Structure 1
Amino acid sequence: MITVENLTKSFPGKSSPVLALREVNLEIDAGALYGVVGPAKSGKSTLARVVALQEKPDRGTVRLDGLNTASLDGRRLREARRQVAVLDPAPALNAERTIAGNVAAPLERLGVDGPQRRNRVGRVLDLVGLTQRATQQPGELTEAQRRRVAIARALVAGPAVLLADDPTAGIPADEAGPVLTVLDRARAELGVTVLLTTQEGSIVGRVCDEVAVLDSGRVIEHGTVLDLLASPGSRIAETLLPAIDTPRAQTAAYDRAADVVLIGFATVGALLPEASMRFGVELATIGGGLARVGDTPVARFRIGVRGRQADSALAWIADRGAHVTHLAKGPCSVAA
């Protein structure tokens, strides 16, 4: 487990210190894939460097499995750092070495013998799906494949934590999927705790269990991705849920109108039709759409309801776990 307590970090500025992190608190379970999202200069990379023990905070503590890293120095600090691998946004590979040679480099520095080194390199190359590329040079691979080589190199020494700082930076969107899949496999098959930073909320929606949103060095929201989808005003929800753009005249044609967030196979597929049948109302989808967060289907619909029991139908939908925001005839809305 990674525990971040009241972390504050500043850097010298022209006239006054620049606060990169402000009283940051996080708990990341062992074996989790945790995302930190925020715009440029929000503090994501600084947080990654502090957790990796590459930077010392001004105040606050980073605990790795309960160990207070602030008290470490010398040999104990070096040992703790070996448990945390870092994948930089633009990792460099040795152009003169093969893919297997690049991955083996950390083990060579540690003095691992040849047979054990080859076994470990083969295992992580299989994990990242590049076994067939082992004898090729980095220049023969795509940027996305080179990023996967860098992940294999970070994992080969068996760290407990992998910090992936903007792991899809510079990679075309249609090639980012395999890189994220590799991070998910590292968590699932090796038990590595993965802390992923990114500017793109859609990235955490694809692979992360939990997420924190950083803005100007502060955590402004955090929680499981699915819980945040149903949270009014959540930035993650606005990023991951389908947009709604329905003319007011279309909404006004119904007795009641509401925006509804549905999460999960059974809820997305059955809840609205069941409400219509149970309460004898006409229920129409007039905006929004479907999406997928990891393996979970989610939806945000604007629905129009006609019938005497329209209010009861909407209340029943909310009672079954959907988040329902009633749209008033005027400019106000009320969340149920």
Structure 2
Amino acid sequence: MVITVENVSKSFPGTTAPVVALRDATLSVSAGSLFGILGPARSGKTTLARCVALRERPDRGVVRYDGMDTSKLTGRRLWGAQRQVGVVNPALRPERTVAGNVAAPLEHMGVEPARRKQRVGELLDVIGLSRSGARLPSELSPGQQRRVAVARALATAPSVLFADDPTAGVHGDESAAVLSVLDRARAELGATVVITTRDADVARRVCDEVALLDRGTVVESGTLLGLLGKPGSQLAEAVLPPLTTPRAHLATYDRAVDVVLVGFAAVGALLPEASARFDVDFTTIGGGLTRLGDTPVARFRLGVEGQRADAALAWIAERGAHVSTPMYGLRDVAA
């Protein structure tokens, strides 16, 4: 399902004046993507997610599902649209087993017992807890509880799944397991998944597309891989390895450049091949390696020496590398 947000604004009553949560937010979520809404606390992430999930009505603007204007929906039509959206609620019912929690939405819908049991079994397998159906939530770790909450939200096979800060209070390998379940929901169950987070590492690990919010405004949005070469991209800056360069290194080289390499072939071979082909030396003086999902990405600050440096840099740019000249300021240069 394609989700389009057009100029959405939302305010809430305050003590002395309305509190503005969203200001003309505009973005597009591709069908079948894992979309991240990234921003600091009180940036409007949760409010935007609730508007997109049809749990809040915007004051102005439109949320469209596959082109349908949801602001015009009321009564049974609104309820029908809301049923297409699963919202992860981390609060499990403590008196019910894991299987009982996952089955609860199906019971509410009147799904017959045999079909409920089959669906619950499928979802427990998806979240990696197929042997824990008879356990109580109190017997699970925080990460396992969060995975059960995801399974419960998926029980009715929604087209869209929302998870507000899904790794809050979950750390390490357990956090990775929660993100893996959300990725499986997208890849194996066909849901369009939207998450909110303050953590750029979460976006880096699982998101295809991201929007950056600041004080209720969408500052930037797009695919992570597509934003890597965009000059001044705040999202790229947030997910790429940081660059710091000791001052003493700057005068050592003929010139310095920042290079972003994407993919196994580029990260592994492009710079050595350019060095041999054009007889130039590249020395890494900052940056490092990371991954965006399954794709390896490198950002290096390079010292370059050799008469054919310009030709070498043009050659790697023609093969997909993003090459730029660093702006040496306090953020880029270490004392």
User: Which of the five TM-score ranges fits, normalised by the shorter chain?
Assistant: over 0.9
Q: Distance in 1 between matches of 2:184 and 2:162?
A: 15
Structure 1 residue identity aligned to 2:32: G
Contact 1:276/1:283 (<8 A) preserved: yes
1:207 aligned onto 2:206: yes
Q: Distance in 2 between matches of 1:329 and 1:63?
A: 44
Q: Distance in 2 between matches of 1:36 and 1:330?
A: 29
Matched ranges for 1:1-336 at <5 A: 1-88=2-89, 91-327=90-326
Q: Distance in 1 between matches of 2:82 and 2:191?
A: 15
Greater shift in the superposed pair: 137-146 or 233-242: 233-242
* Structure 1 moving runs of 4+ over 3 Å: 327-331
Q: Distance in 2 between matches of 1:283 and 1:92?
A: 53
Structure 2 residue identity aligned to 1:184: D
Q: How many Å apart are 1:157 and its aligned residue?
A: 0.9
Q: Distance in 2 between matches of 1:2 and 1:144?
A: 29
Q: How many Å apart are 1:71 and its aligned residue?
A: 1.0
Q: CA RMSD in A?
A: 1.7
Greater shift in the superposed pair: 145-154 or 249-258: 249-258
Contact 1:256/1:311 (<8 A) preserved: no
Q: How many Å apart are 1:329 and its aligned residue?
A: 8.9
Contact 1:260/1:301 (<8 A) preserved: yes
Q: How many Å apart are 1:317 and its aligned residue?
A: 2.3
Q: Distance in 2 between matches of 1:279 and 1:185?
A: 45
1:2-54 Cα deviation digits (max 9, x unpaired): 11111111111222222111111111122111111000111110011111211
Q: Distance in 1 between matches of 2:220 and 2:329?
A: 30
Q: Distance in 1 between matches of 2:16 and 2:327?
A: 50
Contact 1:86/1:162 (<8 A) preserved: yes
Q: Distance in 1 between matches of 2:170 and 2:205?
A: 16
Q: 1:17 to 1:196 in 2, by over 3 A?
A: same
1:107-159 Cα deviation digits (max 9, x unpaired): 11111111111111111111111110001111110000000000000000111
Task: Determine helix, strand or coil for the equivalent of 1:233.
Answer: coil
Contact 1:252/1:329 (<8 A) preserved: no
Greater shift in the superposed pair: 292-301 or 318-327: 318-327
Q: Distance in 1 between matches of 2:328 and 2:276?
A: 25
Structure 2 residue identity aligned to 1:287: G
Structure 1 residue identity aligned to 2:75: G
Structure 1 residue identity aligned to 2:193: V
Task: Determine helix, strand or coil for the equivalent of 1:254.
Answer: coil
Q: How many Å apart are 1:327 and its aligned residue?
A: 4.4
Task: Determine helix, strand or coil for the equivalent of 1:180.
Answer: helix
Q: 1:162 to 1:327 in 2, by over 3 A?
A: closer
Q: How many Å apart are 1:286 and its aligned residue?
A: 2.1
Q: Distance in 2 between matches of 1:231 and 1:210?
A: 15
TM-score, normalised relative to structure 2? 0.95
Q: Distance in 2 between matches of 1:245 and 1:24?
A: 33
Contact 1:3/1:63 (<8 A) preserved: yes
Q: How many Å apart are 1:233 and its aligned residue?
A: 2.2
Task: Determine helix, strand or coil for the equivalent of 2:148.
Answer: helix
Alignment length (residue pairs): 330
Q: Distance in 2 between matches of 1:313 and 1:87?
A: 50
Q: 1:328 to 1:152 in 2, by over 3 A?
A: closer
